[in-house]
Chain A
Amino acid sequence: MSKPRIATVWLDGCSGCHMSLIDLDERLLDIFERADLVYSPLVDFKDYPEDVDVCLVEGAVSSEDDLHKIKLVRERTRTLVSFGDCAVTSNVPGMRNPIGVGPLLDRAYIENVTLNPQLPSEIVPKLLPTATPVHRVVKVDVFLPGCPPSADLIYTMLDDLLSGRVPGVVGSRFGR
C-alpha cells in the first residue's frame, strides 16, 4: 500500500505557517515516514499533482492566481486544511478589504513612489476585489486557526489525519 500523499500550498500569507511546520523538527521525520510530501514551496515539484490525500493551505485567496490554484487544489485533494489565520479569516491580507484595490495600489505604487510610478500590469497576477478566507471560495474540511498555529497543533492534526481520526479542536485560537 502506498503512503498517504501530503501537499502544502502558499497563497497570500507570510510563510510563517510553513515556518511553524518546519518547527516540527524531528517530528517531521515521523510524519514523512508515514506520508510522502508531493508538493510544497519547501520542495521542488512544479505542478500540483493529482490524487493528494491532505493539503495544508496557507494564506488568503487574494489574486487571480490564488483563485486558480485553490480551485485546482480542491479538485485534486481529499482533505483540505485551512492552515493558519490568513487562510481561515483572511487576517492581515484582509486588512486591505475596507480600502479597495484601486486606492490600495495607488497608495503603494503611485503616491509613495518617486521613480517611475506605475501600476504593475505584467507577470504579477491581478488582485481580487477582496482577500477572502479559503472556505469562502472552496469547501474546507479542517480549520486550523493561529498566527501561526503552533508546531504541536500542526503535529496533532497531521497525526490525527494520518491515523484516520477526525481532527478535533485542539486548543487552536485566532492570533497568538
Chain B
Amino acid sequence: MTTVFTFRIDGKDVAGSEGQTVMEVAEENGIDIPGLCHLEGIHDRGACRLCMVEIAGSPKLAAACMTKIAEGMDVTAHSDVLLEYRRTVTEMMFVERNHVCAVCVANNHCELQDMAEGLGVTHFDLPRISPKVDIDASHRLFAIDHNRCILCLRCVRVCDEIEGAHTWDVMHRGLETRVQTDMGIPWGESTTCTSCGKCVQVCPTGALFEKGRAVARGSKTKRPFLPWMKVVAEERGL
C-alpha cells in the first residue's frame, strides 16, 4: 500500500505518494517551480539548480527535483530571495558559454531564453567568460554546439535511460566540463549512437540541433515521443 504524505508548498496544502519528489507534487498541483534539467520521463539529476526551494527547519536550500516529500514538510518554492537566486543561476548559464540568441538555431524555441524572460533577467551583471568552445558537426544528421550547452545533461540521461545506447557522457571538470560522445571521439565516428535524435529533441537550448536548420528554425516544441518515453519508463519501473 502506498503511503500518502500531506504537506505544504507556498502555503498550499498538497498531497503525494511516498517516493515522489517535491517537483512532481508541485507539477500535479499546478505550482510552477522553474527547472531546465528536469524532464518528465527521465531520472532527475539536480544539475541546473533552478528548482532550489526552502524547506522549513533546514538551514540550506534543496533542489525540488531531488527532494523526496515527507509528512508535514513546509516548502517555500517562491520568494524574493529564491527569485534572486534563480535569476543569478540563469545569468551564470548565459555568461559561462557563448549564448547569442539572435543567431541561434533555437532562437524562440529555447527554454533558457524563456527562463530569462520569465524570471525578468534583462541583462547580466556578471562578466561574460567568452570561452573558445568547439562545435562538432561530424554526425550525418545532427550537430552539437558546445557554445550553447548548459550541462543540464538531459541528452546523457535520455540516451542512457530511454535509448539504452549511452553514447553521451560527461568529460572534464568545472568550466572545462563538456558532454562527450563515446569517450570523447567525434560524434560522427561513434559506434554506439543509433542516430535516434532523442538527445536533440530533449536539449533545452540550441546546443543539439538537426543539421540544415537555419537561425530560429530549430523548433523543439513538439516532442511526440515523450509520452511514449514515460510509458516505457513506467513499465521498466524507473
Contacts and interface: CB of A to CB of B under 8 A. Distances in A.
Given A145-B122, A176-B107, A95 B98 contact: yes
Given A174-B116, A175-B108, A176-B108, A97 B130 contact: yes
Nearest to A175: B101
B104 A175 contact: yes
A94 B100 contact: yes
A132 B68 CA distance: 44
A174 B128 contact: no
Given A88-B122, A92-B100, A133-B124, A173 B113 contact: yes
Given A82-B123, A98-B133, A173-B113, A90 B128 contact: yes
Main secondary structure, interface of A, reads loop
B224 interface: no
Nearest to A89: B124
A85 B130 contact: no
Interface residues of B, number: 26
Contact of B123 (A89, A97, A98, A175): A89
| Interface core residue of B108, B110, B123, B132 (most chain A CB under 10 Å) | B123
Nearest to A84: B102
Contact of B101 (A85, A90, A98, A140): A85
Contacts of B117: 171-174
Interface string B83-123: 00000000000100011111110011010011011001011
Contacts of A85: 101-102
A166 to B, nearest CB: 13
B101 A147 contact: yes
A98 B133 CA distance: 8
Contacts of A133: 123-124
B19 interface: no
A27 interface: no
A136 interface: yes
A138 interface: no
Interface in B3-58: none
Interface of B: 94, 98-104, 107-108, 110, 113-114, 116-117, 120, 122-124, 127-128, 130-133, 216
